[in-house]
Amino acid sequence: MAKGRILVVDDEIYIVHILDFSLGMEGYEVVTALDGEQALERVAEQKPDLILDFATLTGAARVALGPELPALFANRDEIADALLACARETRDPLWRLPLWAPYDAWLDSKVANINNAPSGTFAGSITCALFLQRFVEHAKSWLHVDIYAWTPQAKPARPEGGECQAARAIYKLLGERYA
């Protein structure tokens, strides 16, 4: 079992949850960033074992997968496979989408370092994940979960409203790797 720091970035409020499983401690560091990308970049500079981030960036993943199946992006197959196995075991579904390298060129800009809004309308979820990936280069492993976190219609054991997506799978993964 690996020991080390895991940094979880909440793209909405920019709080980094620092989980140090080797010491059994948990702390919080408020990242004062102008945007989530800066928060990711700051976290990646610490070269953690794993960075997790959760966000709804474009809605494109909802178009492709619907509201019940969050999209997963990962920079390493091993960590993606491990999380997908945990998702199956906990019945907390995730579907991996590719970080398709040929689309990375869509983020190039003639006037800036990077274009965060490519002119095309294709592969919005993938291009957003590729955008985020540019800010986590120093991380050994990075997982981005594009969550919707909402149940539009009530179902048995799932009332209409806020939905905790990917939490059971992530919790199992962290327990297996770092506890």
pLDDT in tens, 109-164: 888 887 777 777 789 899 989 988 988 888 889 999 998 888 888 888 778 888 88
What is the separation of C-alpha 132 from the centre of its chain, rounded to a whole number of angstroms?
9
Under a CB-based contact definition with an 8 Å cutoff, are residues 21 and 3 in contact? yes
Under a CB-based contact definition with an 8 Å cutoff, are residues 55 and 125 in contact? no
Please determine, for residue 33, whether its predicted confidence score (pLDDT) is greater than 80: no
Token pair listed for 163: 């939905």
Under a CB-based contact definition with an 8 Å cutoff, are residues 55 and 49 in contact? no
| Domains of the chain as residue ranges with CATH | 53-178 (3.40.630.10)
Tell me what the pLDDT averaged over the chain comes to. 79
**Of the ranges 11-15, 53-57, 80-84, 117-121, the best mean pLDDT one:** 80-84
Q: What is the pLDDT of residue 31?
A: 46
